[in-house]
Amino acid sequence: MRILSNETPEKVGKEVELSGWVDARRDHGKLIFVDLRDRTGTIQLVFNAKDEVTYKVAEALRPEWVIKVEGKVGERPAGMRNDDLPTGTVEIGVAKIEVLSQAETLPFDISGDGYEINEEIRMKYRYLDLRRRRMRRNILLRHKTSQFVRNYLTAEGFVEIETPILTKSTPEGARDFIVPSRLQQGKFYALPQSPQQYKQLLMVAGFEKYFQIARTFRDEDPRADRAYGEFTQLDMEMSFVTQEDILSITENLFTKLVKEIFPEKHITKAPWPRIPHKEAIEKYGTDKPDLRVDKGDPNELAFSWTIDFPLFTEQSEKDFFHGSGSAKFAPSHHMFTAPHPDDIPLLDSDPTRVRGLQHDLVLNGFEVGGGSVRIHQPKIQEKVFELIGFNKIQKDQFAHMLEAFTYGVPPHGGIAPGLDRFIMVVLGEPSIREVIAFPATSGGSVAVMDAPSEVDNKQLDELGLALKKKTK
């Protein structure tokens, strides 16, 4: 039965079977050394010229061939040990070898970090790029992070619930991706910019504590920390909570997560500083200040909250929120964010001075999440719709929310930290593409598969669509 390379140190003197990739080969005359790589690391194989059959195969081995070997685990001679390797005290004297598959020379080197390699080529051959140790580590830490979140929130009474991907637009300030409907020609789904409305409806449904490691879609122009396309966020919503509760649950979750999954990291300050928006702008010139004490320290994590945002931002006609053309105000966060209770009278007299119960989660100068306490009074929701210039048709699109809120809605609120973004910042990676297995390239194509692609006329016909003119 196959064992893994990291099990070999406990198997000295035993016959074992191992499989994996040829990481490197070194010829030393009568001996050939091969580093065999599997998902746990590498182990040194030794081929002796006295065994002509195996030696001959070893001579032909090339990097990245897939092999299976049998042999005995031996202690390495003193002086030949490698203390930097978990398996550095042992080696396998190979008695039998089988080549399972050969490999062409890879299009790039996978032994290093790979930052210097052209990103398009890395993406085209992402399945090879993912073989490099750094990428493997990133993906594994991401897995551990999601796993921790699931376990932690479940223990806290949260329920993981999936929400539709083929759905209707919930404006979050970005452009929607749309998908044409075949069954209802001329109509389109929007991919969710977030599960915002569904999670609020789950509160009306009485679940009280919801989370989802949710995929969200935003057709934004690519930026370094915001790859175009799809993102993963830890979407959460809770009923009967105050803003204080939301902040403290989030703070506990991330504090414990860092301790468990990233023990080498330290958090600059606890409890996390809470900075009113106005103060942040005045003092730091940004609403996402980098509060690290030593910016050269890769292990420092400075979390903070930015709170007391103005509920609205003023805007000129041309950049009007969601394209309706005329209103002076756009929501700072989104249109379901509750006004500060003390400021409700200002909705009529001076909307610019209304503070929203919004909270942004900031880490080392990056906004890694945002959320809010929500409006749960239909009257206030309608007032906000009015202020952001919703006409009747637009209001009707959210009629289901207003109706739902007439059947007994608990006060509720939530947050959605971006998982890609969080892991990028914690690992000090320059882009979220470094922590996503198959990200879109900065040009908007999806790695390996070369999406988007053209469709044939038959498919367009079925959808009742025709292309205006062919775009390349």
Which residues sit at the interface with ligand ASP, rule CB under 6 A?
Answer: 172, 194, 196, 370-372, 414-416
Nearest approach, Cβ of residue 172 and ligand ASP (Å): 6
Contact 415, 214 (CB under 8 A): no
Cα separation, 227 vs 433, in Å, equals: 7
Q: Which two tokens stand for residue 299?
A: 């292990």
Cα separation, 72 vs 17, in Å, equals: 9
Q: Which of residues 63 and 414 has its CB atom nearest to ligand ASP in the complex? A: 414
Q: Which of residues 371 and 439 has its CB atom nearest to ligand ASP in the complex? A: 371
Backbone angles phi, psi at 244, to 5 degrees: -55, -45
Instruction: Using CB atoms within 10 Å of the CB of residue 181, give its burial: 0 to 12 exposed, 13 to 18 middle, 19+ buried.
Output: middle
**What type of residue sits at position 388?**
I
Segments in 28-169 forming alpha helices (H):
52-60, 119-124, 126-129, 133-155
Q: Which of residues 149 and 416 has its CB atom nearest to ligand ASP in the complex? A: 416
Ligand-binding site membership of 219 (annotated): yes
The gap from C-alpha 20 to its chain's centroid, in whole angstroms, comes to: 29
Burial call 133-156: b when 16+ CB within 10 Å, e when fewer: ebbeebbebbeebeebbeebbeee
Nearest approach, Cβ of residue 176 and ligand ASP (Å): 13
Ligand-binding site membership of 367 (annotated): yes
Cα separation, 420 vs 231, in Å, equals: 7
Ligand-binding site membership of 172 (annotated): yes
Ligand-binding site membership of 421 (annotated): yes
Nearest approach, Cβ of residue 96 and ligand ASP (Å): 55
Q: Which of residues 63 and 370 has its CB atom nearest to ligand ASP in the complex? A: 370
DSSP state of 5: G
Cα separation, 203 vs 26, in Å, equals: 62
Ligand-binding site membership of 333 (annotated): yes
Nearest approach, Cβ of residue 358 and ligand ASP (Å): 8
Q: Which of residues 87 and 194 has its CB atom nearest to ligand ASP in the complex? A: 194
Ligand-binding site membership of 120 (annotated): no
Nearest approach, Cβ of residue 370 and ligand ASP (Å): 5
Q: Which of residues 134 and 226 has its CB atom nearest to ligand ASP in the complex? A: 226
Ligand-binding site membership of 420 (annotated): yes
Nearest approach, Cβ of residue 279 and ligand ASP (Å): 22
Q: Which parts are annotated binding residues for ATP?
A: 218-220, 367, 418-421
Q: Which parts are annotated binding residues for L-aspartate?
A: 172, 218, 333, 374
